[in-house]
Structure 1
Amino acid sequence: MGYRRGAWIVAGVLLLASPWASAGEPVTQQRLRWDASTLGNHRYLVQVAAPAAAVHVVIPWRRRDAHPEQVAVIVTGPDGKPVANVLRGGMSQAQGELVFEAAQAGSYAVYYQPYVSRGRSNYPTVNYAEPKDTADAAWVHTVGTDARAWRKLPEAKVSRYEAVDDFDAYTSMERTATPEEVNALLAARANERLLVFPETREHPVRMFDALPESWARRGTGGALSDSALRGEYLSFQLGAWAPRGKVDDVRVSFSDLHHDSGASIPATALTCLNLGGVDYAGKPFTTRVDVPEGRVQPLWVGLDIPASALPGVYRGEVTVAADGVPAQKIPLAITVEAGQAVAHGDDNPTRLTRLRWLDSTLAQDDALVKPFTAITARGATLDLLGREVKLDANGLPAQITSHFNERMTGFAARPTAMLAAPMRLVVEDASGTHVLKGSRAPSVQTDGPAKVHWQVPGVAGPLQGDVQASLEADGTLVYSIALTAKHAVTLRDIRLEMPLSHGMAQYQLGLGRTGDHAPADFQWKWNVQNNQDGAWIGAVNAGLEFHLRDEHYLRPLNTNFYHQQPLRMPVSWDNAGQGGIRLHNDREAYAVEAFSGPRTMQVGETLHYDLVLRITPFKTIKPSAHFAERFFHKYGDLDAIKADGANVVNIHHATPINPWINYPFLEPAAMRAYIDAAHGRGMRVKIYDTVRELSDRSPELPVLESLGHEVISAGKGGGFSWLQEHLDGDYIAAWHVPENRDAAVINAGQSRWHNFYIEGLDWLARNEGIDGLYLDDVAYDRTTMKRVRKVLEARRPHPLIDLHSASQYNPRDGYINSALLYMELFPYIDRLWFGEEFDYEKTSPAYWLTEISGIPYGLMGEMLQNDGNPWRGMLFGMTNRLGWSPGSDPRGLWKLWDGFGIEQAAMIGWWVHDAPVSTGRDDVLATSYVRRGSKTLIALASWAPARTDVKLVIDWQALGLSPRKVRLVAPAVAGFQPQAMFKPGDAIPVEPGNGWLIVVE
């Protein structure tokens, strides 16, 4: 993922510069106090009154790391140089004892968590330095090693704790209580199994395996007092500690809050985020919370204060109960101030008012998204944009047709039938073959203009069937098929048969194959090492994506992390490794058979043979809009960008206006100024923001950590030092930007953080004026992607969303095709950038068409790796992206486009059967950009192994030109081609991997 630029270190200060005209001052982050890479992030300063051969000090550091005795300590003198003569005494979490030589009086620094960072800077491996004996033997002999004798030495005075910067500093909630303090607290609370500590949002719980000093000194229980504005969302915590054994099923309930005047805030205004909420799909859920012995479980509570609340103090109580534990009541005293909160307080992330976003249902509906049209039902025939689905009596598709034309710019006079025969679900036993039959015709119900559903009961021999299905306006069919045994039975197979028409089944990708012509015969088996559960098969204007799942499906992690949360093998389809998929070309059809193999089922046992189908293309391509939108993919000076001809700017993270990965809320003034300046120049700005990993700068991170692994994926920890020092260790370390010390953790694939993300985009569109998103690989599914599109369309005119992916076809990502991984998102995005690690040189035209271009799905794109192949790219309307690297410079092609008038041309690709220009070869291809009756731009590109002379086959009538009156001119374009002239019928020389752009006029 070679992106993230725009930050510079100067004299130890991180400068995030602002190179746009009249858009504010540079953003300067806090200066680092010392070189953390050699000394670590934390130190204590100690004062030595007079030089001495040895001084003694006990540092009450109250550390949260479990084994301080295993970590080195570095002492530096007033001159900043390391002191070699140092002896370590007792090292515990509570304190550390040291003796060191003090050659001069003054301030000495004790660095107590030095680390060594190795590996790739963006995925660092940080290990804490082990203790080393650096003391001179003679000095050790003089000082001795008897700790009792050390106490007679001159005593150094502990001055203060410091961190390398404010962000790295341990908070008061990370100073551990000493064993003596813990024992005293427990003695005062003899036999209590659950101790509850109320705490305000200003002091989020950061330790889950230790008690903070402040709690041990203060004691358990007591009232929670806080204040907020009218209309503000106030959050607070209840820290539940189980010191004497596991505590099961912790529950929280609330009373109404009462004002002295008799006014009240109802109990329903309070919620506990840890005990449930609304999931990413808009469904309510509850969570059971158990507290293991010795653990602290923060229970985060949100109070949505009504905007109409009477100012003053509201009193009530929170009750905390658990199995076998007496209920505890925590008094609440909430002062509602006279002021009015703006947007619940959301404009200040540090106030944690945005926690209410976790349960948002914004844009969670069945409304339409452009350009899709409402689904219409004519009995069992369902019409949607460019496609039609006819249901069989069992609820499965009897026929699917596409009305898209091969040019992908409109609709054909004759539709393309995708199925050679109806799909069938077949059950085979000793008595024969039984096809699932519906007991009644499907009755289609409308959920909204963008969704319909139906249910069909049925039977397949010994199995009772229940088919529940839905169709959405983008062309997604979702089937939940439950098969229940009417009696104990031994089966030979349960399989799905999809007989595809030969005309449609031209290309295939997925199942461990990269995009190419559909194989004549191929077989695939389930394997958890591979992120594979389906495929796409089709032609440019008619295709079908399918995935086989069961009721336990959970989206795997992607982009380097697949094996840490791999595909859950569907019990039904996989059948302990006996299931698989066969593709074979029969005389009647291109047959797709998903089989599950022999098994036995007990009476009443149910298996779920779930199926997801997507009908492609999703929409038409719009070449004129594609060519008009010129991307600059880097943060930079807006006037210079505009002068280069770009009009859309993509802003990564690690830039002045968007410093932190996937948390673009902490520099709002700088972001707004830049975007306003761009809009004033007629330009649009899109920002990097997605859900896959989350910056450690997110103020909500402690709350997310308290939710277990609902939002933060489980893992082995490690990574950059901040993560290891401030998180609980059970996470996956993700991207790190060394320039601004931004470290991230991996998010779970499906969680309430998606709700937060949607609300965040709405906030950005309303308050910052963003014109869209740059998505750099994505960890959410189409449910969230639809909401993204709806939110942006509601707030911004013509928002743009482009998706970049590195090739996922590798062992660490489970050999999944990027196009297949993200196809569910394609209906709602505008452009692809595929991408890093894609091979533009050694892959076939079929690979380019299906894996890179996006055209069979209704998208166009651009190239990235090694700046792409410009000649082959122009066959698909693709260039590289300006600003990305010194070699990525499409300005010469942009100039040619403008001179030709490409935005007024009809793009007719080499894949169109009656294309007006061709070469008569399969290894040298031509795409035409036709301005009929005026001129045509011909893109030629070669896959031939050697130089080839080609003669163009031109349908002059289709071009509206006369061969006697035209000339063929190849304009000079730097880095692309020299100027050349040809006549109709000339043999045009084409170098291998090269090509031409020829204007016919």
Structure 2
Amino acid sequence: MQKWNADELGNQRAVLWWNASSKQAKAVIPWRNINVKADQKMIIIDSLTQKQYEPDAYLNMNEEEGSFVFNPVSGKGIYYVYFLPYKLDERTNYPKATYLKRTNTATAKDVGAVPLASVIRIESVDKFNSNDPMEVIATKKEIAEYMKKHEGQSYFVFPETRETPVKMNIIPQRWVDDKKDSSVLHGNTERGLFYAFQIGVLPVKINLEKVKITASSLKSTSGATIDSRYFNCINTNGTDYKGEKLELNANVKKDDLQAFWCGFDIPENTSPGIYEGTITIRPENAAVETVKIVLNVSGEKPVNKGFDEPWKMTRLPWLNSTLAQANTVIKPYTPLQLKGQEISLLGRKVQLDASGFPKQIQTFFTPEMTSIGEKANSILSEPVHFVVKGPGAKPENFKNSGIKFIGKEEGKISWISTNTSGNLQMKVEGSIEFDGFMEYSVKITALKDMQIDDIALQIPFEKDKATYMMGLGQKGGYRPDHFNWKWDVAKKNQDGAWLGNVNAGIQFSLRDQNYSRPLNTNFYLQKPLILPSSWGNENKGGITIKETGGKIVVNNFSGPRSMKKGDELYYNFHLLITPFHPINTEEQWNNRFYHAYKPVDTIKASGANVINIHHGNEINPYINYPFVATKEMKDYIMKAHEKGLKVKIYNTIREVSNRMYELYPVKSLGQEVFSAGKGGGYSWLQEHLHDHYIAAWYVPEFKDAAIINSGMNRWHNYYVEGMNWLVNNLGIDGIYLDDVAFDRVTMKRIKRVMTQNGHPGIIDLHSANQYNDKDGFNNSANLYLEHFPYINRLWFGEYFDYNNNNPEFLLTEVSGIPFGLMGEMLQDDGNPWRGMLYGMTSRLGWSAKSNPTHLWKAWDDFGIKGSKMIGYWVPDNPVKTDNPAVLATIYKQEKKIMVSLASWAPQDTRVKLKIDWKGLGIDPKNVKISTPAIKDFQKAKTFNITDEISVEKNKGCLIIIQ
């Protein structure tokens, strides 16, 4: 078959043969294609001259067939008719295909005498775009005849094998064929794998409610049995991403075709043979229907339970996986220690009040953030507490029951406390995990009818532990003196903030029992936050942050309301105690990334030792689905390992590729995995998914069109299992997350499977700046802070401005240092001089201009490995400048230091170093001061101790003192 340019002509065509001599021809094409509309344009191409033109007149256009009159310009021969041509807009990675409407409106009333061209075949541009038998529709007449034959049924049942997935919301032609037996499903499988099949259910008289699909045990003629407990239907029950059982209400509307994906997990010890049983379809409001299943089980056993052959749908059980759910401690974290009401964790302590809320939170990280010390950094000026004001703004006086610990694990400690006043009961359920995440469920119940003036949560900070702020519409930087904020979930992805210093801080987030994670990365407005009924209180709630009596009080108020006796409100909230661990400077200096798919030897020669394989290349062609070119990927990883290099791959589930083998089983789950949306996007999505999705990233070279993931769903279980398979079968050393659509539950699980058995499990997080209207004006670091305990490096990222933002912004939003991380720069290759204040460079391999190897060489020449990093934010940093707009970070060896200077001065300037020689442990009498030559960074110079140093605007230098 001759290929053609689909993005000019469309994906579908009919091939006509004209063998007459008249100047007009008639064609009737029975395309049976659900995508054809009445005003559809057709493009005819004469195979001899390649001339393109429209029909002379359109006679009839609908889903079933099209008829028209055309001029066979070259006489006898082949003519191609492209019947779904479209035009792509210019957005290369977010394209929209607009189907062309006919421009010729001429019609012909009498064409009886016009000879008819022969239809040789109907074909697609390639196999992936083909309308296979499951997308060839039945005609209205065929459907009517079928229904007449089965007029006594309120719904129809159509069994199908895994090879022919249900793709449309309409009956395909193959189902109305008299030869098709809908009462029996025949299948062939092997021992030790999951055999998947479908039951198509079509209600024609009523809406079906709570459909259940069950199976009998399967029995062979020899008496062997496959027990019914090995049966599962992903549409009716399963296990959610948190490991909790799901019982799904599978309702099917009248005239909607629903595919139920089912299967048997065939035990490995099953005797070969033919097994028979019954599949039962049981709606709550209609008669039971049954389908006989005949399964031929061969004696062969697949490798690895068939997981290596995902095109057989063997991985569908992964949707219900509980792998790595156990809350075991993940390195470098340590088991929680409970003593009285004090809980200790890595570098931090939490003392609980009898109310159940924190009485004090302390960290023990040094100001340099390179170690954990003995000195406590107390964050709270008084306990976290609720202030509830009843009628006349009179405070409710709560008496508490004291704390009862209800769970004591190494990775999680849980407790409850009940606080009661004359009018209200406040039931507190709290927990803390080994990484510093605290979760509170606070249920307030009215004991009588009452008016409430306000219910507020107050978090009182020590002033020096609230130096910086990020979130609630504030870009990262110094905390403002006075701050007021109100809920605006329709436009703002904001429900909390981080306040802290470099070595001590807290993020808080306000939730209720109906919280659902919103979309991000350009799609927030399509699925925003749900206003918490408690905190939001019909937009009466908000947050104020101000200094009161020498302390900084975060007042999370909800405003006046009335409550009836028995009414319940959930004032839930999360706290994250930062930093999570010391910064790992040695990992930063040792792991040098190459961000492109290149030959291993090329990368080895560059000086990089970790390869980051993005998608859109021959070994990882499809976004977030690295399960296609697995042989090629494994071969590449083996070559890299032989050369001492590690390999990470791009794999997140913010969106999923249309190339995934499990596409139609996932589609059958409705909006559980695919986020609800208006459809559109690239042509393949429109022609094969049709509607109820959000089109996402597209790679033209591979025709890879992604669909947005709805958020928290069972695809996360598949993701965890997939990571486990990639580690154990391909040997990946880590992953590159490009923004994140899941929460910390999934993050912990993938960190566990990726670090199993000594694997490095390197996880790096990239984000495009989320502080814009499409993303709801959230800060990337604030949005993803719950993931930071498991991240190795930050790559922030597109649309981050390193030249026109202050150092406080770079420190809090980009560097990761206040949270125990370090990072890299991306946009416009970053600012190398400012980046060095935080130990950051740009990406190697990402752009022609970005080349951090010159800085890497300077690091190695100095001996940065093993040095101690002391940032400009450290109060007793022994090296400063005489200009507060020129900052200094040092990298200290025993007898020499490297000083990084970077300027925020409004123009070129000259500065002198202010050096505490005693603090450095260096005798100034014998020192040499110089700037080494670094290509594209600085020229070589030498200095005296008292010399001024020239610093260009927006730049800086690296100085060696030895």
Q: TM-score, structure 1 length as denominator?
A: 0.94
CA contact (8 A) 1:381 1:389 kept: yes
Task: Write the distance in 2 (CA, Å) between the matches of 1:32 and 1:832.
Answer: 47
Task: Write the distance in 2 (CA, Å) between the matches of 1:825 and 1:423.
Answer: 24
Secondary structure of the corresponding residue to residue 356 of structure 1:
helix
Partner residue, 2:859: 897
User: 1:245 Cα deviation (Å)?
Assistant: 3.3
Write out aligned runs for 1:652-667 (5 A): 652-667=614-629
1:241 matches 2:211: no
1:297 matches 2:274: no
Amino acid across the alignment from 1:827: P
Secondary structure of the corresponding residue to residue 981 of structure 1:
strand
Secondary structure of the corresponding residue to residue 708 of structure 1:
coil
Task: Write the distance in 2 (CA, Å) between the matches of 1:847 and 1:922.
Answer: 16
Instruction: Tell me the percent identity.
Output: 44
1:973 matches 2:934: yes
Write out aligned runs for 1:511-526 (5 A): 511-526=472-487
1:816 matches 2:816: no
Amino acid across the alignment from 1:119: E
CA contact (8 A) 2:391 2:450 kept: no
Task: Write the distance in 1 (CA, Å) between the matches of 2:641 and 2:163.
Answer: 38
Secondary structure of the corresponding residue to residue 874 of structure 1:
helix
User: 1:104 Cα deviation (Å)?
Assistant: 1.8
Partner residue, 2:289: 328
1:855 matches 2:855: no
- CA deviation string 1:721-761 (max 9, x = no partner): 00000003110000011112110100011000000001001
CA contact (8 A) 1:395 1:438 kept: no
User: 1:808 Cα deviation (Å)?
Assistant: 0.2
Partner residue, 1:176: 137
1:452 matches 2:413: yes
Give the 3 Å change call, closer, same or farther, for CA 814–461 of structure 1 in structure 2. Answer: farther
Amino acid across the alignment from 1:107: I
Task: Write the distance in 1 (CA, Å) between the matches of 2:181 and 2:487.
Answer: 53
2:583 to 596, 618, 621: 621
Secondary structure of the corresponding residue to residue 615 of structure 1:
strand
Select between 451-460 and 703-712 the one with higher mean Cα deviation: 451-460
Task: Write the distance in 1 (CA, Å) between the matches of 2:399 and 2:11.
Answer: 67
Select between 506-515 and 220-229 the one with higher mean Cα deviation: 220-229
User: 1:648 Cα deviation (Å)?
Assistant: 0.6
2:113 to 152, 161, 166: 152
- CA deviation string 1:166-193 (max 9, x = no partner): 1111111000000111001100111321
Task: Write the distance in 2 (CA, Å) between the matches of 1:818 and 1:556.
Answer: 14
Amino acid across the alignment from 1:145: A
Secondary structure of the corresponding residue to residue 666 of structure 2:
helix
Secondary structure of the corresponding residue to residue 261 of structure 1:
coil
1:634 matches 2:603: no
- CA deviation string 1:28-80 (max 9, x = no partner): xxx98101122100001111123431122211110112x52121111111222
Select between 238-247 and 528-537 the one with higher mean Cα deviation: 238-247
Task: Write the distance in 2 (CA, Å) between the matches of 1:922 and 1:611.
Answer: 39
Write out aligned runs for 1:46-61 (5 A): 46-61=16-31
User: 1:416 Cα deviation (Å)?
Assistant: 0.4
CA contact (8 A) 1:501 1:590 kept: yes
CA contact (8 A) 1:427 1:461 kept: no
Please list every run of 5 or more consecutive structure 2 residues that lacks an aligned counterpart in the other structure.
none
CA contact (8 A) 2:422 2:447 kept: no
User: 1:261 Cα deviation (Å)?
Assistant: 2.2
Write out aligned runs for 1:2-21 (5 A): none
CA contact (8 A) 1:256 1:264 kept: yes
Amino acid across the alignment from 2:172: P
Q: Between Structure 1 and Structure 2, how many residues are aligned? A: 958
Partner residue, 1:92: 62
Task: Write the distance in 1 (CA, Å) between the matches of 2:332 and 2:755.
Answer: 11
User: 1:878 Cα deviation (Å)?
Assistant: 0.4
1:104 matches 2:75: yes
- CA deviation string 1:233-253 (max 9, x = no partner): 011000000122322221212
- CA deviation string 1:547-576 (max 9, x = no partner): 000000010000000001001110000000
Task: Write the distance in 2 (CA, Å) between the matches of 1:292 and 1:108.
Answer: 43
Partner residue, 2:6: 36
Give the 3 Å change call, closer, same or farther, for CA 32–835 of structure 1 in structure 2. Answer: farther
1:485 matches 2:454: no
Secondary structure of the corresponding residue to residue 648 of structure 2:
strand
Task: Say what the alpha-carbon RMSD is for the aligned residues.
Answer: 1.4
Partner residue, 2:380: 419
Partner residue, 1:918: 880
Task: Write the distance in 2 (CA, Å) between the matches of 1:341 and 1:872.
Answer: 55
Task: Write the distance in 1 (CA, Å) between the matches of 2:102 and 2:960.
Answer: 72
Task: Write the distance in 2 (CA, Å) between the matches of 1:749 and 1:319.
Answer: 32
- CA deviation string 1:407-432 (max 9, x = no partner): 11112231100000001112101265
Partner residue, 1:26: none
Write out aligned runs for 1:739-750 (5 A): 739-750=701-712
Give the 3 Å change call, closer, same or farther, for CA 346–770 of structure 1 in structure 2. Answer: same
Partner residue, 2:546: 584
Partner residue, 2:88: 117
CA contact (8 A) 2:43 2:55 kept: no
User: 1:330 Cα deviation (Å)?
Assistant: 0.8
Task: Write the distance in 1 (CA, Å) between the matches of 2:848 and 2:159.
Answer: 56
Secondary structure of the corresponding residue to residue 217 of structure 1:
coil
Task: Write the distance in 1 (CA, Å) between the matches of 2:149 and 2:274.
Answer: 31
CA contact (8 A) 2:42 2:54 kept: no
Task: Write the distance in 2 (CA, Å) between the matches of 1:587 and 1:469.
Answer: 29
- CA deviation string 1:246-274 (max 9, x = no partner): 22221212211112222211111111101
1:527 matches 2:488: yes
Give the 3 Å change call, closer, same or farther, for CA 288–123 of structure 1 in structure 2. Answer: same
CA contact (8 A) 1:380 1:443 kept: no
Secondary structure of the corresponding residue to residue 494 of structure 2:
coil
Task: Write the distance in 2 (CA, Å) between the matches of 1:195 and 1:376.
Answer: 60
Give the 3 Å change call, closer, same or farther, for CA 187–216 of structure 1 in structure 2. Answer: same
Give the 3 Å change call, closer, same or farther, for CA 393–898 of structure 1 in structure 2. Answer: same
1:564 matches 2:534: no
Partner residue, 1:71: 40
CA contact (8 A) 2:390 2:396 kept: no
Task: Write the distance in 2 (CA, Å) between the matches of 1:784 and 1:202.
Answer: 31
Write out aligned runs for 1:159-558 (5 A): 159-208=120-169, 210-218=170-178, 221-430=182-391, 433-434=394-395, 437=398, 439-528=400-489, 529-558=491-520
Task: Write the distance in 2 (CA, Å) between the matches of 1:460 and 1:686.
Answer: 56
Amino acid across the alignment from 1:230: R
Task: Write the distance in 1 (CA, Å) between the matches of 2:39 and 2:955.
Answer: 60
Amino acid across the alignment from 1:122: N
Task: Write the distance in 2 (CA, Å) between the matches of 1:961 and 1:942.
Answer: 26
1:668 to 630, 635, 657: 630
User: 1:461 Cα deviation (Å)?
Assistant: 4.3
User: 1:364 Cα deviation (Å)?
Assistant: 0.5
Give the 3 Å change call, closer, same or farther, for CA 590–83 of structure 1 in structure 2. Answer: closer
Give the 3 Å change call, closer, same or farther, for CA 434–191 of structure 1 in structure 2. Answer: farther
Amino acid across the alignment from 2:88: S
Select between 425-434 and 314-323 the one with higher mean Cα deviation: 425-434
CA contact (8 A) 1:453 1:471 kept: yes
Write out aligned runs for 1:750-789 (5 A): 750-789=712-751
- CA deviation string 1:647-683 (max 9, x = no partner): 1110010011000000001001110111111111100
Task: Write the distance in 1 (CA, Å) between the matches of 2:374 and 2:284.
Answer: 69
CA contact (8 A) 2:96 2:683 kept: no
